[in-house]
Amino acid sequence: MSDIERPYGSADSDPALKRVRTRHFQRAKENGIKITGLTSYDFLSASIFDEAGIDFLLVGDSAGNTVFGFDTTIPVTVDRLIPLTAAVVRGARRALVIADMPFGSYENGPDEALATAIRFMKETGAQAVKLEGGVRSAPQIMRIVQAGIPVMGHIGFTPQSEHGLGGHIIQGRGEGAEQLLADAHAVEEAGAFAVVMEMVPSGIAGKVTAELSIPTISVGAGPECDGQLLVWSDWAGFNRGRIPRFVKQYADIGATLLDAAQQFQADVESGVYPAPEHEYGD
């Protein structure tokens, strides 16, 4: 989305006037303007992505993998995500910050879901929450939205259910297409302002995008969605392991840091660092 096309101001306008709002997502879909999102888990990355003009920052429970080093997102708790989300909010002047509700914080029903969403809104300053599940999570979405909190849905592959789904498996293929459509419509009818579709074939994702009036955000759901979201450590090459097929890697931060750390060690061992310009005089 170029600055001229941006319905919510450019990088130099008054920060108070230029925060991306959920209504801008709707306007972007109506005008065919693509929406961009990245995950972020800290102040510094949030500041950089915000400066770049990324429209929304998701403090994903993918922090379980990228920040905390778990194999899945399942162990992530609200208490662990709250300080990360607050840090991202402090770094984002323009981007809409979305707090991801972790496994175990909303499945017990609408009351639990609303209590969790309220915690994120009050304790972090996030402007919206996200939760996984279509038809099964519709009552939770409805309750949160009725309380005035914007909700982003998440359907297709939902990592919190990876054991139930039988692993990292593409969703919406064959007979799964009907379920995906039902999930998408349930999320829209419950009042979500946008819906993430993760690891879904492009064809069915395009059909969902055409049928829904709210924007669809792709995480491996192809080019016909209204926006694209990536986990930043995958996208920037910070993740040293395998990255999914749908990720385009835009940088190699991991290699840069490895090289820097090796040079630092060599310089310290050889006495090149610290040099006179790094010393304080008497």
Identified catalytic residue from 112, 198, 269, 277? 198
Q: How far is the CB of 4 from ligand KIV (least distance, A)?
A: 29
Residue 107 falls in the annotated catalytic set: no
Residue whose CB is nearest to ligand KIV in the complex, by number: 60
Residue 281 DSSP code: P
Q: How far is the CB of 68 from ligand KIV (least distance, A)?
A: 12
DSSP secondary structure of 112-124: HHHHHHHHHHHHH
- Number of helices (H), then strands (E), belonging to the chain: the values are 11, 8
In this complex, which beta carbon is closest to ligand KIV, that of residue 1 or of residue 199?
199
Q: How far is the CB of 276 from ligand KIV (least distance, A)?
A: 46
DSSP secondary structure of 33-100: PPEEEEE--SHHHHHHHHHHT-SEEEE-TTHHHHTS--SSSTT--HHHHHHHHHHHHHH-SSSEEEEE
Residue 155 DSSP code: E
In this complex, which beta carbon is closest to ligand KIV, that of residue 58 or of residue 190?
58
In this complex, which beta carbon is closest to ligand KIV, that of residue 62 or of residue 209?
62
**Cα dihedral across residues 246, 1, 25, 65: positive or negative:** positive
The continuous run of DSSP H or E covering 193 comes out as: none
Contact between residue 152 and residue 194 where contact means Cβ atoms under 8 Å apart: yes
Six-digit token pair at 59?
């403090």
Q: What are phi and psi of 89, to 5 degrees?
A: -60, -40
Q: How far is the CB of 121 from ligand KIV (least distance, A)?
A: 18
In this complex, which beta carbon is closest to ligand KIV, that of residue 55 or of residue 100?
100
Q: How far is the CB of 198 from ligand KIV (least distance, A)?
A: 6
In this complex, which beta carbon is closest to ligand KIV, that of residue 11 or of residue 247?
247
41: exposed, middle or buried (Cβ count in 10 Å: 0-12, 13-18, 19+): buried
Contact set with ligand KIV (CB under 6 A): 39, 58, 60-62, 100, 154, 196, 198, 219, 229, 231
In this complex, which beta carbon is closest to ligand KIV, that of residue 64 or of residue 201?
64
Other Cβ atoms within 10 Å of 77 Cβ, number:
13
Q: How far is the CB of 60 from ligand KIV (least distance, A)?
A: 2
SS3 content of the chain, % helix, strand, coil (to 5): 45, 15, 45
The residues annotated with a catalytic role in the active site are 198
